[in-house]
Structure 1
């Protein structure tokens, strides 16, 4: 198990913008193709290498997944944490913390060209005398802002719609499959909210999860052959014996607070898209038929039943 997020790269790691801007090297050498290990620290190391070699990138690709010509030898960049931290800190000379955090969100968005987008945004910020965060006429600035907004919405929905089930050993688990890699963004929320219980949130699409052991939150991965939380459903024998009762009680609560006369499916799906319904207990098939509570019927109807 490895630590959840790099200590040096949290949005609040560096207190204030550094003082003076340094001249940005001109990228005068022939452009290169770069490869890295796929981590955010690795990408920051690539950014340092670009300006050290003064060679703009034709492409920045994950090592082992690169696509290029037969006669092209990419520059393989090894990750160096100290170099990555230096780049991360140095970005504050050219942008504020919020803009810098957007670059991390763009990385988590998993867009095919995210590496080049981050490079172009950072290069533009370093070569512009003013803060570029509000320059929405520029395509890259506008796209970075749009991706950051999409990440915020996905993060907010995951925090709202994740539902835990209790295992027989007392572990609360939840399986999700978000459109973006939001686990690093929701870790702090669930660590604060459920600090008194062990829990696991597993991203089925990306095959890794967050595990909280009452002390700290770690990133965990499971072997391919291991029948872990990545399976489509957890066996009933693994669940706490009271879990079906809890699900039934939640469904009953949802049914009784629902007002059929005010049903608005269009608005409902806007605030709770269909792709999240598989996580929600209230959206699962009912094991027992819904029956209204007797003392909640209108007085006239109750009197008719008594006659």
Structure 2
């Protein structure tokens, strides 16, 4: 068995698939840096990200698999889980080795695995869209700090751009140390260190953010808590059902849960 080690990017994963067909190596374990657990007879190979190779593989998948399968492939990749990376690799090998479209053959372990990981990532995407709460800064920027299980920021930017077109906002992933920033025209990816959140942040596009909270933010926060308390019917409180729809790990984003 060979172990392919890649940099954790989509380009890197697709480059692994290209190399597998280039050297006819299909019994391959996919790993990212730091996850390698080589056996006694394993051949560890570092696969460099190659844009041209990745594009050839992606274009080939477009010809061989359905649009839904390509979406599931991307969603599964965003899970950042080694098991999901392996399903993506095995799925691509399976698809390329067949003459017909097999991307809906859920009897195959990797087609099914891809679908299951995509479903988990999709569920996290919808929850982030529902539970993200913004706080207003002194310079008019609205900021939200999140820490999703999966890397869903690329999936939620369209939703927030469409919903909040008239205000500047920043959604920052504390776990992955990057965010998405909307400047009233387009969305930028911004990389930053979590330790700089309490100061001035540079986005890499010559855009600066003052993240000191607006003086009225405490008032708005209290108004929202009062509204939530007033519409709540205590006699019908069902905490078991509530946790089912709003898991506790999301409560940290929600102002009304801090009452």
User: 2: CA distance between counterparts of 1:212 and 1:64?
Assistant: 33
Matched, 1:176 2:142: no
Question: Could you say what secondary structure the match of 1:154 adopts?
Answer: helix
> Could you tell me which residue of structure 1 aligns to residue 239 of structure 2?
265
> Could you tell me which residue of structure 2 aligns to residue 107 of structure 1?
77
Q: 1:225 to 1:282 in 2, by over 3 A?
A: closer
User: 2: CA distance between counterparts of 1:263 and 1:129?
Assistant: 56
Q: 1:82 to 1:215 in 2, by over 3 A?
A: farther
User: 2: CA distance between counterparts of 1:123 and 1:72?
Assistant: 20
> Could you tell me which residue of structure 2 aligns to residue 191 of structure 1?
161
User: 2: CA distance between counterparts of 1:50 and 1:127?
Assistant: 12
Q: 1:224 to 1:243 in 2, by over 3 A?
A: closer
Backbone CA RMSD of aligned residues = 2.2
> Could you tell me which residue of structure 2 aligns to residue 219 of structure 1?
189
Say if 2:13 and 2:89, in contact at 8 Å, map to a contact too: no
Task: Please identify the structure whose Cα radius of gyration is greater.
Answer: 1
Question: Could you say what secondary structure the match of 2:14 adopts?
Answer: helix
Matched, 1:278 2:252: yes
TM-score normalised by length of structure 1: 0.74
User: 2: CA distance between counterparts of 1:227 and 1:253?
Assistant: 29
Say if 1:34 and 1:57, in contact at 8 Å, map to a contact too: no
User: Where does the alignment leave 5 or more consecutive residues of structure 1 unmatched?
Assistant: 1-30, 230-236, 286-307
> Could you tell me which residue of structure 1 aligns to residue 94 of structure 2?
124
CA offset digits 1:32-53 (Å, max 9, x no partner)? 3222221111111111111111
Aligned pairs (5 A) from 1:232-243: 238-243=212-217
Aligned pairs (5 A) from 1:5-20: none
Give the deviation of 1:224 after TM superposition: 6.0
TM-score normalised by length of structure 2: 0.87
> Could you tell me which residue of structure 2 aligns to residue 206 of structure 1?
176
User: Where does the alignment leave 5 or more consecutive residues of structure 2 unmatched?
Assistant: 200-210
Say if 2:198 and 2:212, in contact at 8 Å, map to a contact too: no
> Could you tell me which residue of structure 1 aligns to residue 112 of structure 2?
142
User: 2: CA distance between counterparts of 1:168 and 1:188?
Assistant: 25
Give the deviation of 1:261 after TM superposition: 2.5
User: 2: CA distance between counterparts of 1:39 and 1:143?
Assistant: 20
